[in-house]
Chain A
Amino acid sequence: MSATFDCVVVGAGPAGSAAALVLARAGKRVALVERGPFPGSKNMYGGVVYGRVLDTLVPGWEQEVPVQRWITRRATMVLTETQSLTVDFRSGAWARPPYNGCTTLRPDFDAWLAGKAEAAGAVLLCSTTVTGLRRDDTGRVTGVCTDRPGGELGAPVVIACDGVNSFLAKEAGLYQSFDPANFTLGAKEVIALPRDEIDRRFGLAGDEGADIEIVGATADVAGGGFVYTNADSVAIGVVLQLPGLARSGRRPEDLIAQLKAHPSIAPLVAGGDLKEYSAHLIPEGGYDAMPEIVTDGLMVAGDAAGLCLAAGIWLEGVNFAIGSGAAAGETAVEALRRGDASAKGLAGYRRRLESSFVLRDHRKLRRAPHFVLSERVQHRYPAVVCDLVEQLFTVENPAPKRGGLKAGWRALRAHDVPLRDVARDAWTALRTFG
């Protein structure tokens, strides 16, 4: 199948399909190569797709996206072993177009988006693993090698959308360093429950869905937890920082079991059958852990470029993948028109990202990953705030009520958090999220 294209895109995840869609629409001959038997077959996530990025790429997307539920309820939960504190937000506006986000399964969503690229003229090659880059004597990337017999694909531009492990970005020497602490393992269960039972448990109706992010759910391991509602299943999982997980001696499924056993979580998932267990890595290092994203003949987009935003209250990667993939596609179209796919000719890619939400959000939130995974945020503050609230709401007549400040002070002391640390963290939080 040795063949030549204008562009080869590796990986039919959201980044790759967005890139291929843009190129195909511009009339370019583009191959979209996917190692799974169908797009999405290798991919798992939480998952909510935030669709605003699709408004311009696939107008009317909300009419046809394979939606499970539209998110109308967004909760952030802080847990200790026996306590929980939840900030629970609902919006009627999110139940109507233009919507904010929806749960959707990756085998459905990724196949849908790849289908758009195909319909626009991209050649989708599934069950094909790219095994390496093809290069000329000057080192410029000129295509890829695949595991199909005679399976070289030549192209003046290659876009690596090959996900978190990106062996292509590594092969091209774009990762200066690769620190396992910048990665988390997500492990998740999809639990079947009748639709109306989910509605009852989560307080939903019709197509409404809930998204719950959890801090303090992962014992000694830095990370977090999540619960999402699909139409007739609930996804529950944990996200675990790799070195901490390896040191902990705790197994991923054990940490999921513990989350499911928490008194605030158990009623949400009780009695359902496990339909699928899955696991996948997340690049959480943010802006400062990104690799180089351009070299001669090659651009890197999506998780392959570390462009997933995992910053505590946010877990967004699909939208950043689509945004960066589309920008790489536009840059490729321009470079092909000018006949210059050198690193210089592809420099517009970085500029496009810098001026869009993709790198603006990442630059703004560059301190977030370190902060959110810090020991105090992970382990001490959940206990402090839960104890503070417990003191405020425990009625101890005939003893008079304790003031909030006093309760806060006691909670901080009980968990060994000096006031100066609180002040420092408050300042960091302000600079990070403000």
Chain B
Amino acid sequence: MTALSRAGAAVPDIAFEDRMATVEFRVAPDAHIVVDGDSCRGCTTRACVTACPANLFVPTSDGGILFNYEECFECGTCYMVCNTEGAITWRYPEGGHGVVFHRS
């Protein structure tokens, strides 16, 4: 026995959109995170794609990254795991906007 399955993904019990639909986001007019897709082209780790809990980083077929700030937890994981200087510009959204937790 190894520690809990190291292999394939578990069967999801809920679709990702439904998961995110449980969270309230008061979307700000301006993006608080900007991803420079060009900087991403040379990136081999794609750390953000794996680690972002909101799954907001989507690789494109031409080697870039598509990012949408709207359903973001403002956790900070992406800028911490990204090793490419300048790829991610990160700040908190305008006061009163962004994620609003009610039951956590």
B19 touches A383 (CB 8 A): no
Bound-complex Cα distance A42 to B96 (A) = 10
A364 at the interface (CB under 8 A from B): no
A43 at the interface (CB under 8 A from B): yes
A246 touches B93 (CB 8 A): no
B4 touches A218 (CB 8 A): yes
Bound-complex Cα distance A254 to B12 (A) = 7
What chain B residues lie within 8 Å of A146 (beta carbons)?
95
User: What mask results when residues 13 to 49 of chain B are scored 1 for a CB within 8 Å of chain A, else 0?
Assistant: 1101011101100100000000000000000010100
B60 at the interface (CB under 8 A from A): no
B96 touches A126 (CB 8 A): yes
How many positions in chain B have a CB within 8 Å of any CB in the partner chain? 46
What chain B residues lie within 8 Å of A378 (beta carbons)?
3
A254 touches B77 (CB 8 A): no
B94 touches A217 (CB 8 A): no
User: What mask results when residues 76 to 104 of chain B are scored 1 for a CB within 8 Å of chain A, else 0?
Assistant: 11001100000000011111101111111
How many positions in chain A have a CB within 8 Å of any CB in the partner chain? 76
**A219 → B minimal CB distance (Å):** 5
Bound-complex Cα distance A243 to B74 (A) = 18
**B43 → A minimal CB distance (Å):** 11
Bound-complex Cα distance A375 to B50 (A) = 21
Bound-complex Cα distance A277 to B20 (A) = 7
B61 at the interface (CB under 8 A from A): no
What chain A residues lie within 8 Å of B75 (beta carbons)?
185, 279-281
Bound-complex Cα distance A386 to B73 (A) = 36
**Chain B: CB-nearest residue to A148:** B95
A424 at the interface (CB under 8 A from B): no
What chain B residues lie within 8 Å of A255 (beta carbons)?
10
Say whether, besides A242-B81, A253-B53, A274 and B14 are in contact (CB < 8 Å): yes
A257 touches B92 (CB 8 A): no
Provide the main secondary structure of the chain A interface: mixed
Bound-complex Cα distance A187 to B91 (A) = 21
A173 at the interface (CB under 8 A from B): no
Say whether, besides A80-B4, A217-B4, A242-B81, A41 and B100 are in contact (CB < 8 Å): yes
Bound-complex Cα distance A187 to B75 (A) = 10
**A51 → B minimal CB distance (Å):** 19
B92 touches A129 (CB 8 A): yes
B50 touches A245 (CB 8 A): yes
Bound-complex Cα distance A248 to B47 (A) = 9
User: What mask results when residues 248 to 265 of chain A are scored 1 for a CB within 8 Å of chain B, else 0?
Assistant: 111111110111111000
**B52 → A minimal CB distance (Å):** 8
A-B contact number at CB 8 A? 179
B95 touches A128 (CB 8 A): yes
B58 at the interface (CB under 8 A from A): no
Q: Which one, B54, B77, B95, B103, contacts A275 given CB within 8 A? A: B103
A340 at the interface (CB under 8 A from B): no
Bound-complex Cα distance A40 to B102 (A) = 8
A219 touches B81 (CB 8 A): no
A81 touches B10 (CB 8 A): no
Bound-complex Cα distance A167 to B89 (A) = 13
A250 touches B4 (CB 8 A): no
A320 at the interface (CB under 8 A from B): no
Bound-complex Cα distance A352 to B37 (A) = 47
Bound-complex Cα distance A278 to B102 (A) = 10
**B94 → A minimal CB distance (Å):** 6
A281 touches B50 (CB 8 A): no
Residue in B22, B76, B104 with the greatest tally of chain A CB atoms within 10 Å? B104
A183 touches B100 (CB 8 A): no
**A400 → B minimal CB distance (Å):** 24
A251 touches B55 (CB 8 A): yes
What chain B residues lie within 8 Å of A36 (beta carbons)?
96, 100
A105 touches B104 (CB 8 A): yes
Bound-complex Cα distance A42 to B91 (A) = 14
- The 6 nearest A-B residue pairs measured at CB: A127-B96, A246-B47, A44-B104, A279-B53, A258-B10, A257-B10
Q: Which residues of B contact A (CB under 8 A)?
A: 1-6, 9-14, 16, 18-20, 22-23, 26, 45, 47, 50-51, 53-55, 73-77, 80-81, 91-96, 98-104
Q: Which residues of A contact B (CB under 8 A)?
A: 35-37, 40-45, 47, 79-83, 105-107, 126-129, 131, 146-148, 164-165, 167, 180, 183, 185, 187-188, 190, 216-220, 233, 235, 242-243, 245-255, 257-262, 274-281, 378-380, 382-383, 386-387
Supply 16 A–B pairs (Cβ within 8 Å), ascending by A.
A35-B95, A37-B26, A40-B101, A41-B101, A42-B74, A45-B104, A79-B3, A251-B50, A253-B16, A257-B11, A257-B12, A258-B4, A261-B10, A274-B18, A278-B73, A279-B53
